[in-house]
């Protein structure tokens, strides 16, 4: 029994250290994802297409707020490029409310609220709702692999937008 006791203490301490390291890693990764989202928001405000796209995987997929679906970075980027040329530009902002990082795989799940503002980030909110995103860690960077937006409210020009059948 005397030889078992030190082994139990060592095993307990080792498990505790590993659990703390995993929690610290997921916390750091969660912060990195939140910062990436905020940087992407800033790029959207500036209309910096290259930086907006820098946060997506090449095979990113999206289900837009009113139901239209797209696949691939070029198709998603074209949405932002077309909107930048529009007289009624909509500036989209995502506000994360929860980020869960897997302790097993290089994956994370983000949820939050989104809004589309007319003309600038201070413009009237014309459409908004909730979103979720899957993030994947590639090397030391977190990238968005997939996003789903659901429009739940609208006003003004947002009411003219049509939902996909």
The answer as to whether 154 is a domain residue is: yes
- The verdict on residue 24 lying in a domain is yes
How far is Cα 82 from Cα 89, in angstroms, rounded to an integer?
9
Which pLDDT value is given to residue 37?
98
Query: Which of 108, 84, 95 has the alpha carbon at shortest distance from 40?
Result: 95
In a domain, residue 105? The reply is: yes
Span 4-13, average pLDDT: 44
Residue 44 has pLDDT above 50, yes or no: yes
Count the neighbouring beta carbons within 10 Å of the beta carbon of residue 140. Answer: 6
Domain range enclosing 129 = 4-160
Average per-residue pLDDT for the chain: 88
Domain count, the chain: 1
Non-local (6+) Cβ contacts of 131 within 8 A are 94, 111, 112, 113, 114, 147, 148, 149, 150
pTM over 0.85: no
What CATH number is associated with residue 115? 3.10.450.50
Q: Evaluate if residue 66 carries a pLDDT over 50.
A: yes
Whether residue 165 lies inside any domain: the answer is no
Query: Is 90 exceeded by the pLDDT of residue 103?
Result: yes
pLDDT tens, residue by residue, 127-158:
999 999 999 999 999 999 999 999 999 999 99
pLDDT at 84 over 90: no
- Listed residue (97, 95, 100) closest to 27, CA to CA: 100
């Amino acid at each position: 029994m005397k030889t078992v006791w030190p082994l139990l203490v060592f095993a307990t301490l080792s498990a505790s250290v590993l659990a703390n390291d995993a929690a610290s890693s997921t916390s750091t990764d969660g912060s990195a994802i939140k910062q990436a989202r905020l940087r992407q928001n800033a790029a959207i405000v500036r209309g910096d297409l290259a930086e907006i796209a820098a946060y997506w995987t090449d095979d990113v997929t999206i289900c837009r707020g009113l139901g239209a679906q797209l696949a691939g970075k070029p198709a998603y980027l074209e949405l932002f490029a077309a909107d930048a040329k529009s007289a009624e530009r909509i500036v989209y902002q995502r506000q994360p409310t929860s980020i869960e990082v897997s302790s097993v795989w290089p994956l994370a799940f983000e949820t939050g609220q989104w809004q589309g503002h007319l003309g600038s980030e201070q413009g009237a909110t014309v459409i908004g709702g909730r979103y979720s995103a899957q993030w994947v860690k590639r090397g030391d960077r977190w990238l968005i692999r997939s996003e789903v937006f659901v429009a739940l409210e609208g006003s003004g020009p947002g009411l003219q937008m049509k939902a996909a059948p």
